[in-house]
Amino acid sequence: MRIAILSRDENLYSTRRLKEAGEARGHIVDVIDTLHCYMDITSNSPKVRYKGQDLPKYDAVIPRIGASITFYGTAVVRQFEMMGTFCVNDSISISRSRDKLRSLQLLSRKGIGLPRTGFASQPDKIQDLIKNVGGAPLVIKLLEGTQGIGVVLAETNKAAESVIEAFMGMKANILVQEFIEEAKGADLRCFVVGNKVIAAMKRQAGEGEFRSNLHRGGTATLVKLTKEERATAIAAAKAMGLNVCGVDLLQSKNGPVVMEVNSSPGLQGIENATNKDVADMIFEFIEKNAKETSKRSNA
């Protein structure tokens, strides 16, 4: 099979591992810089051009779309979809998961556990917004933040008011969530491929930090999930429509709650913590599903 990885940097760990895994299984794997793709939108035979030439026909595309290029990246993925190429995650699912508010609303509609959450732009009564999620301590998040950036823990109602007012002054959209104190600065990253959790790790925040992101100095260890945690991760992936994703859970006194569903989860942390060949499992999924998609399109 000929497979494309949409990635800005072929030297990134995740991109490199995917290319190695695909070639080890006998596939031709090309790394394509998403922002250097361009498209003829009005053509009767849709194509993606790259470096002055039409890209070859690919059996599958693995989108590794960074948050900063979601709009253009999903447009490129959509063009491949129009060409009949199997995309590991489709453009709608990527867009859905990147919109934090929309994703939480979809998860809520499916009855999936979430922290109590409020959304606001210019609330008339900040105190009521705070009260609605249970009061301080609480977490305030910029809607567009990634990797723990734009996430603030307010330990008192006064502090929460000050932070919310500051974000309002920036005309920023914010989420206000209850602080799951019993999680003790740890979360669970569940790596979902297809309808299975193929690997899971526990990420622990560093001392004095409540954000467990590995980019912020968190540590990762192998963890065994409960049936409820596994079922919650799979349900969250299905709600987003994602075939490959990372689902971040917190262990609350009311059971597992979903913090985020990531459509381009990194491989380095999960592979190192679990000693599993996650990249190879992704290609195993592609081999089965890309062939089935090709059979249906040719029927």
For each of the domains in the chain, give its residue range(s) and CATH number, in order of start: 2-96 (3.40.50.20), 117-179 (3.30.1490.20), 182-279 (3.30.470.20)
Cα dihedral 128, 129, 133, 138, rounded to 10, equals -110
Nearest to 7 by CA among 264, 197, 256: 264
The reported pLDDT for the residue numbered 144 is: 67
Cis? peptide before 46, omega within 30° of 0? no
Positions of E strands within 179-231: 186-193, 196-204, 219-222
Tens digit of pLDDT at every position of the chain (299 positions): 999 999 999 999 999 999 999 999 999 999 999 999 999 887 778 899 999 999 999 999 999 999 889 999 999 999 999 999 999 999 999 999 998 889 999 999 999 999 999 887 666 688 888 888 888 899 988 876 555 567 888 889 999 988 888 888 877 788 899 988 888 888 999 999 999 999 999 988 766 555 555 555 568 899 999 999 999 999 999 999 999 999 999 999 989 999 999 999 999 999 999 999 999 999 999 999 997 655 554 44
Cα dihedral 235, 240, 242, 247, rounded to 10, equals -60
CB atoms under 10 Å from CB of 227, counted, come to 7
Which residues contact residue 124 at a Cβ distance below 8 angstroms, ignoring those fewer than 6 apart? none
The reported pLDDT for the residue numbered 299 is: 41
Residue 26 · residue 50 · CB < 8 Å: no
The reported pLDDT for the residue numbered 230 is: 97
Output the six-digit token pair for 157.
Answer: 């109602």
Residue 32 · residue 18 · CB < 8 Å: no
The reported pLDDT for the residue numbered 120 is: 72
The reported pLDDT for the residue numbered 76 is: 97
The reported pLDDT for the residue numbered 165 is: 85
The reported pLDDT for the residue numbered 213 is: 55
Residue with tokens 């030297």: 11
d(Cα 94, Cα 49) in Å, to the nearest integer?
22
d(Cα 82, Cα 120) in Å, to the nearest integer?
37
Strand 48-50 with 37-39, pairing: antiparallel
The reported pLDDT for the residue numbered 22 is: 97
The reported pLDDT for the residue numbered 298 is: 45
Helix (H, G, I), strand (E, B) or coil at 81: helix
Output the six-digit token pair for 114.
Answer: 């979430």
Which residues contact residue 164 at a Cβ distance below 8 angstroms, ignoring those fewer than 6 apart? 120, 123, 126, 129, 130, 140, 174, 176
